A and B are shown apart, each in its own frame.
Chain A
Amino acid sequence: MRTATIQKSDLGKAIDLLVQADLRVIAPRLQPRLEEDGPDAIDVLTLVEVKSGENHQVGEGLLPLNGVKEFLFAKHEPLFAYEKRGKKIDIIPVHHEYPRTVIVGVRPCDAASIASLNAVFSDANAGFEDPFFTRRRERTTIVTYSCTAPDASCFCTSVDLAPDSSRGSDLHFTEIGGDLIHVEVLTEAGEAIANLLESLLEGEGDQQQREKAGAAVKEKLTRIRDAAPIKDWLDNLDNFDDEMWERLGEKCIGCGSCTFLCPTCHCFDIVDENKGSKGYRVKFWDSCQFDHFTLHASGHNPRDWQYKRYRNRFNCKFKIYPEKFEQQGCVGCGRCIRGCPVNLDITEYMAEVAAKAAG
């Protein structure tokens, strides 16, 4: 589709235009911590709904704490309400609202994760469609913004992505020097947004400059692993009980931060929230790192030690996902590395496996 450019200083105006078009606009916003709150407080960058272009950090900072995941696959949502009266139980459908949404300033890794989630929740091949996810996905447009300053935990290049990849994007922004941003329209949904921003867009973008900019950023990545041999090594079932799992994973405390932060993790649980004899059946995020995740009613737990749970996570990303969904399970955003309280590093596993595979 087409390309264009936009001035970086016009991003605020762009958001204003989108808000004026009655879209729900999600953009990164920094909540700076106050000096008077002491050294424990730190700045918090999150994706939140913005009502105007005045206060946004599109293209600034690195990654927001939360990914786009929570805007498509909600942290919690009711499936239906019920009411028990006498001997009868009424099932009352819930009325979700699916506002048209545009998420601006999504990093390429997060955008790529949407494809992975899509494969789980709405791929026709899976034989099942999650109506909530699909409807949200249909009404959400992703505006990606290429990275300019990856940090030490980023490793997207190790999983076939790059700081400027546009997988999963509808509209893609890349800084190409000065105040100029290269705009790529990738889908029809992206086109619709581009049309709304028409007054700010100028001419055609220089594809060469964009690629040069992307390549320059790619150079800055320091964490590079070879993911190619992992799948084969994992496929060999002898390696399921390799000593490496326990050695690397014994420090894992099972906090689940990695899974909740991960833009592709998608496990959920369902409970009934009762209020007397009425209530809701609610779906909410769960994590394979919790000890009761695989706890059987009998009391037996096949993943009885924490390292086995982390082994599952690694397998899920590099074996199960590619096998089942023909999709990359890991997008290399590095959130799990940054967020881990005990410095359990998925790339250490990758390196170890690569080394083992190489013999």
Chain B
Amino acid sequence: MIEQIRNQARQLLENGEVDVVIGYAEGSDPTRTTPVFVRKPEDVDRLIYDARCINSLPLYLNKRHEYTKKGWKKTGIIGKGCDIRAITQLIAENQLRRDEVYILGVPCEGVVSHFEKWDGSLHDGNRASKCTDCDVMIPLDTDFFPGEKPEVDRSGPYKVTSPKVANLMGMENDQRFAFWRDDFDRCFKCYACREVCPHCSCNVCITDETTPSWIDPAAHKKGVFSWHLTRAMHLVGRCTGCGECTRACPMDIQVDLFNQRMKEIVQENYGYKSGYSLEEKHPLITYKVDDREDFIK
């Protein structure tokens, strides 16, 4: 499979159809992979794909990372189904044009949740929970796909796959608060969760704002709580569930639980799934006259 991808990438680079192919290469450790920017046809053999390819590469297509400054007219990108959903969402939010990317889709069988858990194979003990019940293992929107692309039914609703969400919802309010309070205690506000997110596309993040400073920049509880609430709120209906925020967190706080819960809410109330349509607007900037209002007096 990877040979077909490499050949296609080589051809694209040789024909000058793309300026660069973003993909995965072997990392500095045997358990790790790393994002790689292949510019020359002879370098395509560095490209690999297996269950260690965790990173969500569309983050490099986000304008905030200023890769457009490099003058890339068209970028080839290797994408797992979930990453391609992120690309779709970026296009829907006008952060990218479809004709600026060439998507090399890969058939995915799931990835490990953390590099540390890689032991040579993918199994139930190390498969990221986002990969259970995934309906884009055969990706949706691709320019190239190795082999036949079978039809897949993607009409099902979004389902939360992390058991932790249900476990938390089963708790009393206070226990849930205590869980987050203890976890957030470790947060030192490095904003890795923000930087690694393909959808955090503001030029100036609200937390870096000083006029006014809605979110105290210091990592005390006040600052940390308001940061994580705000981050989750800003991703309502936009998160495509790559789970990178949790993986990138150097203090191992499971911040994507918020996103997963919010996706469930959005699904239940507005029947919306992000990253499947180039046109559909996310639910917080649309409305229906008969939306839920049972909480309103």
* Interface set of A (CB-CB < 8 Å, partner B): 36-42, 44, 46, 65-66, 70, 75-76, 152-153, 250-251, 253-257, 259-261, 269, 271, 273, 282, 284-285, 287, 290, 292, 305-306, 335, 337-339, 341-345, 347-348
| A253 interface neighbour in B128, B161, B195, B217, Cβ under 8 Å | B195
11 new A-B contacts at CB < 8 Å, known A253-B65, A253-B195: A37-B162, A39-B129, A42-B114, A76-B220, A251-B37, A253-B60, A271-B210, A284-B218, A337-B28, A342-B35, A343-B27
* Interface set of B (CB-CB < 8 Å, partner A): 27-37, 55, 59-60, 65-66, 69, 113-117, 124-130, 161-164, 167, 186, 188-192, 194-196, 204, 208, 210, 213, 216-220, 223, 243-244, 246-248, 250-252, 254
Contact between A37 and B163, CB atoms less than 8 A apart: yes
Q: Give the distance to chain A from B214, nearest Cβ to Cβ, in Å.
A: 12
- Which of chain B's residues have a CB closer than 8 A to the CB of A273? 213, 216, 218
In the bound assembly, the distance between CA atoms of A251 and B69 in angstroms comes to 14
Contact between A44 and B190, CB atoms less than 8 A apart: no
In the bound assembly, the distance between CA atoms of A65 and B251 in angstroms comes to 6
| B162 interface neighbour in A38, A46, A341, A347, Cβ under 8 Å | A38
Q: Nearest 5 A-B pairs (CB), nearest first? A: A76-B218, A255-B192, A341-B248, A343-B34, A255-B195
Return the chain A residue nearest B196 by Cβ.
Answer: A341
In the bound assembly, the distance between CA atoms of A284 and B114 in angstroms comes to 29
Contact between A306 and B65, CB atoms less than 8 A apart: yes
In the bound assembly, the distance between CA atoms of A46 and B182 in angstroms comes to 12
Of B28, B117, B124, the most chain A CB neighbours within 10 A belong to: B28
For this complex, 25 residue pairs linking A to B, each with C-beta atoms less than 8 Å apart, are A36-B163, A37-B162, A37-B163, A39-B113, A39-B127, A40-B129, A41-B164, A46-B251, A65-B186, A76-B218, A76-B220, A152-B29, A254-B195, A255-B195, A255-B248, A256-B191, A271-B216, A271-B217, A271-B218, A273-B213, A273-B218, A284-B189, A306-B65, A343-B27, A345-B28
Contact between A40 and B218, CB atoms less than 8 A apart: no
- Which of chain B's residues have a CB closer than 8 A to the CB of A306? 65-66
